Amino acid sequence: MSKPRHKFYAAVTLGERGQIVIPREAREEMELQPGEKLLVFQGPKGMGLSIMPARKVSAFIVEAMERLSQLNMAALNSENEVTTEDPSTSTINPGEVDTDETNEDN
Q: Mind listing the pLDDT tens digit for each residue in 80-99?
A: 776 555 555 555 555 555 55
* Banded pLDDT at 106 (limits 50, 70, 90): very low
- 103 domain residue, yes or no: no
Give the C-alpha distances (Å, rounded to integers) separating 45 from 7, 16, 38, 49: 19, 26, 21, 11
Give mean pLDDT, residues 43-49.
87
- Tell me if 1 sits within 8 A of 22, measured CB to CB: no
CB neighbours (10 Å) of residue 73? 10
What are the residues whose beta carbons fall under 8 Å from the beta carbon of 74, sequence distance 6 or more?
none
- 58 domain residue, yes or no: yes
Number of structural domains found in the chain: 1
CATH number of the domain residue 56 falls in: 2.10.260.10
- 91 domain residue, yes or no: no
- 5 domain residue, yes or no: no
